[in-house]
Amino acid sequence: MAGHLEKRGKNSWRLIVSHGFDSYGNRIKYTKSIHANSRREADKELTKFVYEIENGVILQSSGMTFAQFTEMWTKNYALKELAPKTYDRYKGMLESRILPYFGHFKLDLIKPAHIIQFYDYLSKDHQLKRCKNNQGKTTLKALSSKTILEHHRLLRSMLQNAVYWQILPYNPVARVKPPKHTKPKIHYYDDVECKKLLEALEDEEIKFQTIVILTLFTGMRRGEVLALEWSDIDFKEGFVTVTKSSQYLPDKGIFVKDPKTESSVRSVGIPKVVIDMLTKYKVWYDNQKKECGDLWIDSNRLFVQWNGKPMHPDTITDWFRRFIQRKNLPPITFHGLRHTNATLMISKNIDLAVVASRLGHAQITTTLNFYVHPVQSHNKAAGDILEEILV
């Protein structure tokens, strides 16, 4: 580490130390002005200054702006560690709201008060200047509390990396209370509604019948269902193996990635009714493939477009929403089938560890906190039991 002194006045000195490089490869310089009665005294202060820098007591910011830090964060963290879809969502949040607001800020000058003001800014309609080639302004609508909370989490995560990398002494976002957000009520079906759902499916296209039934009986995520290949189905033993997830991004198209967590790689037992459904569907699938002839693109996926290409994830979401409306069934999202699966298993006293394993949760608390909902019949039964005890 290089360090030297500059005489500034009678008893005034500047300490200058070069150490490390910024995100652009430039040498970082640390400076400090001191008062010393002699060069020997100034040398002692320089030695102390070098020690503090080497041991992280003095942190470098080198005038880095938030925009420059974002480039560094993207290169050294986001592109390496984040799932493609997560990175794409974060990129959109940064480009649309965060960088236009914070981009010019010096990173080490961002304070908790600025973060609070930013959340207030997001909660209201506001105008954003267009780029230099375009005149006028773009009006941005106020964000929901949920979306503001997502911005909070992204900022907190990014600036925590700045702390880890010793660019900031502390995370200003960590000193701000997260924006309030009430979680929406998750809708799911009870056993009676599930039977109505299955009845309503009987006259639907077999492909969609199979997707819904398989999801209802396994609790798989949408991407996991759509990534299934025929080799993942064990017809003899009655198991489905989950090893990947199917996703879509505009610049990448449909692609597969590793599941959400390590625990998401799992085998899920399926009953005879699902095996029979898959067997029937396989016959239909093979006929479709034969009729398509040379136009068929063999992806080996279970659920495909007319020519064998992988199905777009939104296709099943959109179809299911229209199906529910057509059949006048209680409103529920496709993901609600996963909640339904977990809640019904718990209602029948299936071991919680087994439920968590089938869902691909690493922690049982995740299953408890997000996927277990009170069943109305159990609510009534609990009251009846109390009557037996107390009356």
Residues 244 and 128 in one domain: no
Residues 48 and 104 in one domain: no
- For the cut 90, the answer to whether the pLDDT of residue 312 exceeds it is yes
Q: Identify the band that residue 133 occupies on the pLDDT scale cut at 50, 70 and 90.
A: low
Q: How confident is the model at residue 216 (pLDDT cuts 50, 70, 90)?
A: very high
Last residue of a domain, which of 175, 203, 220?
175
Q: Are residues 326 and 263 in the same domain?
A: yes
Range of the domain at 80: 66-175
At residue 114's C-alpha, the angle toward residues 111 and 118, to 5°, is: 145
Indicate whether 60 belongs to any domain.
Answer: no
Least confident of 129-143, 242-256, 258-272: 129-143
- Within-domain flag for 180: no
Same domain, 258 and 333: yes
- Would you say residue 384 lies in a domain? no
274 and 308 both lie in a single domain: yes
Q: Are residues 195 and 98 in the same domain?
A: no
Q: Is pTM, for the whole model, over 0.95?
A: no
226 located within any domain: yes
Per DSSP (E only), the strands in the chain are 2-7, 12-21, 27-35, 126-129, 137-140, 233-234, 239-242, 245-249, 253-257, 266-269
Same domain flag for 359 and 325? yes
The answer to whether residues 349 and 223 belong to one domain is: yes
In this structure, what is the dihedral angle of CA atoms 182, 187, 191, 197, given to the nearest 10 degrees? -170
Co-location of 49 and 80 in the same domain: no
Same domain, 255 and 355: yes
Q: Which of 117, 149, 175 is the last residue of a domain?
A: 175
**Which of 216-225, 243-252, 380-389 is the least confident region?**
380-389
Q: Are residues 18 and 154 in the same domain?
A: no
What's the CA angle centered on 153, arms 150 and 157, to 5 degrees? Answer: 145
For residue 331, what is the domain's CATH number? 1.10.443.10
Boundary residue ending a domain (122, 144, 175)? 175
Q: What percentage of the chain reaches a pLDDT higher than 70?
A: 86
Tally the domains of the chain: 3
Same domain as 302, residue 335: yes
To the nearest 10°, the Cα dihedral for 283, 288, 294, 298? Answer: -60
